[in-house]
Amino acid sequence: MEKSNYINLNPMGIENDSMKIISAELSHLNIPAELDRIIKRVIHTTADFEYGHLFEAHPDAVENAKKALSQSCNIYADTTMITAGVSKPSLSKLGCEINCFVHHPDVIETAKEKGITRSICGIDKASEDESYKIFVIGNAPTALVRICELAKEGKIKPDLVIGVPVGFVGAAESKQMLKESGLPYMIIRGRKGGSTVGVAILNALLYDMTNRKI
């Protein structure tokens, strides 16, 4: 271990030290208390302080989401990277489940038939089950557009939409559409975002609900 003695090998120590560095660098920003943990976790996940400026939430988003989580809602994600990254112990404590249907045989078939994204068809499938109250979109603008459409038609009534698709085509526009939809949202304005960002936001909420320290 001769060359690694300057690297902290204790997992909670590493995270604790990281959060101290992030807090120090963010101290000039006036972040609302209820969003503090979320924004810090997004920066912890990306090492990109620009997210401190790009994150935006509906005033009711945190309260609505926590109420839904406390009532053991289910969560729909547009990527299996998100379902893999979310804290399973926290979900389990709350009695919540997270799913993604983009690899489901029905979804694959419908997407081929209609020539549209599997992400859209996955949202349609989730909309058939009222237990899905939180949506996390890290990849597909088309999924976010579909959520806005279904909500407008009165077919879904989510308590929180975490809209953080990343990309150059449609991502920024889809997040703006969500913001204007009237739904309780959390977004990253512009092109940035992604599955790890979606996981960071959701885990921050889950850790708050289950009294995990960091």
Minimum CB distance to a second copy smaller for 22 or for 57: 22
CB of 209 to a second copy, least distance (A): 21
Minimum CB distance to a second copy smaller for 68 or for 120: 120
Q: How many helices (H) and strands (E) does the chain have?
A: 11, 6
Minimum CB distance to a second copy smaller for 6 or for 128: 6
Active-site residue set: 44
Integer Cα distance of 200 and 157 in angstroms: 23
Which helix (H) or strand (E) segment holds residue 82: the answer is helix 80-85
Minimum CB distance to a second copy smaller for 51 or for 132: 51
Inter-residue contact 29 to 52 (CB < 8 Å): yes
CB of 213 to a second copy, least distance (A): 17
Amino acid at 172: A
CB of 71 to a second copy, least distance (A): 27
DSSP state of 29: S
DSSP letters along 130-142, please? TTEEEEEESS-HH
The beta strand positions in 44-167, using DSSP E, are 55-57, 74-77, 97-99, 132-137, 160-163
Interaction site with a second copy (CB under 8 A): 1, 3-4, 6-11, 14, 17-18, 21-22, 44-48, 79-81, 83-85, 115-118, 120, 141-142, 145, 148-149, 166-171, 173-174, 177, 190-196, 199
CB of 118 to a second copy, least distance (A): 8
Q: How far is CA 191 from CA 19, 116, 170, 188, in A?
A: 25, 22, 9, 8
